[in-house]
Structure 1
Amino acid sequence: MVGETTKSTTNGKAVFYITFETVGETTLSASSDHDLDTIDSISKKVNVIESMCLETQNDVCVTCVPLANIIDGQCVCVDFSIEINVYCQCIDRYIQEGNECIMNCFNSFNTSDVMGYYNNDYKSISIEFESDVVESSESSCFSRITLPDYLNYLLTECKWKSSKAMILKFDSILNGNEYNIELDSSLTPVNEKCREQIYFLNLTVPSIELPMPELSLDGPTLHHLYCGNESLSVFNILDSSDI
């Protein structure tokens, strides 16, 4: 070992720069001139290697560095990793899990996984997800949505109606306009998805044309009402319930 082996310090910290002249396993430890009895000195084992092979038997490699496998007698970095100074390192957007490099991803929805629409009562909006949502067990979904001012003013209830759908109920019939609704991007799919990043979770509720009532009234054109209990009836002949 070549380099600094002693240092003076006034703040209790010391940084050493050392190099090794031989390969193999060595143990590093440190102590001070004023060690307290309560201090535990911890040593650290260091493997100094000149290739990705850590162990050989009869001149044949039997153990490689992490993230490398033996292929045709040689240590080769696993998929999605590259060799850097006799070690293997996962490439960008991948992380080490065991002896593999897997994509560093997030279990989340994106905009294409969700849709919203007006219901037939015109006083509620349904929001449906492509798959089951972990948070659907919550009693309310108020904290999971951000609405435009008009919808927010009329909103009376937000609840999960199934494991992959929520319903927003309002105080009166809505105007049928198109609206953008922002959902909590931390909503989690039960069936795991692997997204490269967490996206803003926005949806557009398309506009609808509200139905207009049709009337065709049937009744006398002229009628004199005398004192008493006599009444005048007028019917909408397009509504069979009035006949």
Structure 2
Amino acid sequence: MKTGALIVVVIIISGLVLGTLLLAMPRTFETTSTTSRLVTVTATYTSTSYATVTRQGYGMPTQLLEKLSSILPDYEKAQAYHVYVPSEPGRYSYSFAVFWRYEENHTHLIYFHAPLNKTFIIGLNSLIQTRFAAAKNIPNTPAAFIPRAEMTETVITDRGDTMTRRWDIVPTSPGYPSTPQVERAGDMAWVITYRLLDDREYGESLVARYYFLEIIVR
């Protein structure tokens, strides 16, 4: 499976300035990590925190991992992204995208690590967009053709509970917007799977899944 990339972009909305964070997956299965600084600034409040992405993560609740293993037995081989939610009270914005080719049967995981003995809130402004790009080097150019495929998103909570959404991707729809399935969370994992249902060749065309997440810690 090709190495994924987690890209956090700059957002400037009504005077709110967020730092830029570029996190790339390591190219091996070793337990390595990349840590970058994330700074949130508002007119009255400044906080500094750190977001970390690791190729192999540890420390998730046993019930969550048992449920994940039952859903995806080889989950340790999937592209995995870890978001460590800061413990300091504040409002944090995460914007990133995951790309994969139409022909690729794809799975990626997003782990959210809650602060110790705390939960966090996923704000109402959070949005997820699934779109189709001509190529990775021109992600803002729509693809000429859209595949016929299916995609699922399963959320696993720290208690092992699950919630699942499913999309039938068809050539007539240019995109699929959605919102997160949970509002308040502790540790959790998102499992996103995609499977192509036709046998056409699409060249460099990509599925692009954009995450615009607002996380609130109180």
TM-score bracket relative to the smaller structure: under 0.3
TM-score where L is the length of structure 2 = 0.26
Question: Relative to total residues, which structure has the larger strand share, 1 or 2?
Answer: 2
Larger Rg: 1
Instruction: Return the TM-score normalized by structure 1.
Output: 0.24
Q: Which structure is richer in relative contact order (CA contacts within 8 A, separation 6 or more)? A: 2
